[in-house]
Amino acid sequence: MKHISKHLPHYISLGIILVSGIVGFWIFQFDRLFQASVAVSVAVAYVVWGIVHHSIHDDLHAAVVIEYLLVASLGLIIVFSLIFRA
Amino acid sequence: MKLARTITHLFLPNESNNLKAKILHSKGLLAIKVFFLLFQVVITFSPLNPISRILGYAANISPQEVIVLTNEKRAESGLPPLVENPTLSQAALAKGADMINKNYWAHVSPDGTQPWAFFIGAGYRYRYAGENLARDFSNPSSAVNAWMASPSHRDNMLSPKYKEIGIGVIEGDLNGIDTTIIVQFFGTNYSDTIPVQPIAQAPISTPIPTNTPIITPNPTFIPTPTSEVKLVNVSSEERSSQVLVSPFTTTKEVSIAVVGLLLFVLILDAIFTSRRRITRIGGRTFAHLSFLGMILAIVLILKAGQIL
């Protein structure tokens, strides 16, 4: 929590990215193409956020980037499997 | 004892997993991804698998309820209710059967047949005609709400030009998926719009002026149901006995379980690392928690069903 409050602007920007994703899905509930675009955009933004955040903290390593990529791609697979099955 | 050690190794940070739950390691996340993809392959492409054979969409759709709900929406907008017309329902059912038989999901069939051809084919002479389509909805209310959320479909449902309605609900295999299609036909009979001539007056020889365009059907082809077409509405008893497992619902449940498990492990990880003041190279737990929280919210928001 100390880390979060210390770097509040970072986490506020992350929050805005993620809330935009939820709002986009809520508004365009039956627009598959838009939902897919939102999912990809949020996943990419999340990975970029991770890289920028760790880069600023001087603890950016390949393992960290891979971890963000894996989490983002897992989220993307889950969302895509539901969008194109709905 | 061994099981407890395995569970601890997988889900709790300790010395055996380098102070990070094993499923949060790159290999663990990759394994979850592979599991999820394999699960999708099994339920999509394996026709011989006993699980996929029973997959299908629940057909708990009553045409009457669709009409009632549509009229409720019209009443909320101060519009008169639409009257059910059996000929329109027959036409809607023929359209649904055509989609199943020719394996398409569109207003216009692959051979170019317009929706209006089904009106004429059933013997309905229309002045105005409209069509809304829905598939894979588990209940009539979700389908009607989805139409209302789309401006073009909403315009059809709330158009004062239409006086009659016909609903066709049909089940079948569309692109390899058991599905339930709802066809909503709107119409105004041609005779309804011709003013009655007063007996004492001379007949008007000029054509009736029209301010709005009349949609004309494609004159080259009038579809007729073939012997393969199921033109019988499924009874509610049959429907209730045919409620099967939905691929969408199954995927949604598995997604919730996978994301829920990861969130749970991440929360445990955050508590342990915070209490033991563990510092390690890796992504921010709070960031992963937020991202997966968003994924969970999206999974919960997403609903089955498509409209056209």
Q: What is the pLDDT of residue B284?
A: 85
pLDDT band at B13 (very low <50, low <70, confident <90, very high): confident
Q: Considering Cα of B143, then B149, then B155, then B157, what sign does the dihedral take?
A: positive
Contact B248 A11 (CB under 8 A): no
Read off the pLDDT of residues B18-52 as tens digits, 9 standing for 90 and up.
888 899 999 999 999 999 999 888 877 765 444 44
Does the structure show a pLDDT above 80 at B199? no
Read off the pLDDT of residues B75-116 as tens digits, 9 standing for 90 and up.
999 999 999 999 999 999 999 999 999 999 899 999 998 999
Q: What is the pLDDT of residue B217?
A: 39
Distance in angstroms (rounded) separating the CA atoms of residues B204 and A15:
70
Residue B251: how many CB atoms within 10 A of its CB? 23
Contact list in B for residue A70 (CB cut-off 8 A) is: 26, 29-30, 33
Distance in angstroms (rounded) separating the CA atoms of residues B82 and B71:
6
Per the structure block, which two tokens stand in for B97? 């059967």
Does the structure show a pLDDT above 60 at B59? no
Helix (H, G, I), strand (E, B) or coil at B178: strand
pLDDT band at B53 (very low <50, low <70, confident <90, very high): very low
Does the structure show a pLDDT above 80 at B266? yes
Q: What is the pLDDT of residue B91?
A: 94
Q: What is the pLDDT of residue A15?
A: 94
Q: What is the pLDDT of residue B193?
A: 59
* Proportion of chain A above pLDDT 90, given as a percent: 63
* Proportion of chain B above pLDDT 70, given as a percent: 77
Q: What angle do CA B107, B172, A82 make, to 5 degrees?
A: 75
If you average pLDDT over residues A55-68, what whole number do you get?
Answer: 91
Q: How close does chain B come to A47, measured CA to CA in Å? A: 10
Does the structure show a pLDDT above 80 at B192? no
Does the structure show a pLDDT above 90 at B254? yes
Q: What is the pLDDT of residue B228?
A: 38
Distance in angstroms (rounded) separating the CA atoms of residues B78 and B67:
16
Contact A42 B294 (CB under 8 A): yes
Q: What is the pLDDT of residue B245?
A: 59
Average pLDDT of chain A to the nearest whole number: 89
The residue among B228 and B111 whose pLDDT is bigger is B111
Does the structure show a pLDDT above 50 at B213? no
Which of A23, A29, A49, A78 to mutate to test binding with chain B, by most B CBs within 10 Å of its CB? A78
Task: Report the range of poorest mean pLDDT among B172-186, B222-236, B262-276.
Answer: B222-236
Does the structure show a pLDDT above 50 at B226? no
Contact B290 A81 (CB under 8 A): no
Does the structure show a pLDDT above 50 at B240? no
Count of CA atoms in the C-beta half-sphere (13 A) of B150:
19
Read off the pLDDT of residues B119-129 as tens digits, 9 standing for 90 and up.
999 999 989 99
Contact B287 A49 (CB under 8 A): yes
Q: How close does chain A come to B227, measured CA to CA in Å? A: 30
* Proportion of chain B above pLDDT 90, given as a percent: 42
Contact list in B for residue A1 (CB cut-off 8 A) is: 274
In contact, B100 and B174? CB cutoff 8 Å = yes
The residue among B91 and B174 whose pLDDT is bigger is B91
Read off the pLDDT of residues A19-53 as tens digits, 9 standing for 90 and up.
999 999 888 877 788 889 999 999 999 999 999 99
From A52, A42, A51, select the one nearest B294 (Cα to Cα).
A42
Q: How many CB pairs under 8 A join A and B?
A: 115
Does the structure show a pLDDT above 50 at B239? no
Count of CA atoms in the C-beta half-sphere (13 A) of B212:
6
ipTM score: 0.94
Contact B283 A75 (CB under 8 A): no
- Residue B204 DSSP label: P
Does the structure show a pLDDT above 70 at B167? yes
Indicate the burial class of B242 (C-beta count within 10 angstroms; 0-12, 13-18, 19 or more): middle
Highest mean pLDDT: which of A65-79, B163-177, B272-286?
A: A65-79
State pTM to two decimals. 0.69
Average pLDDT of chain B to the nearest whole number: 79
Per the structure block, which two tokens stand in for A75? 């989220």
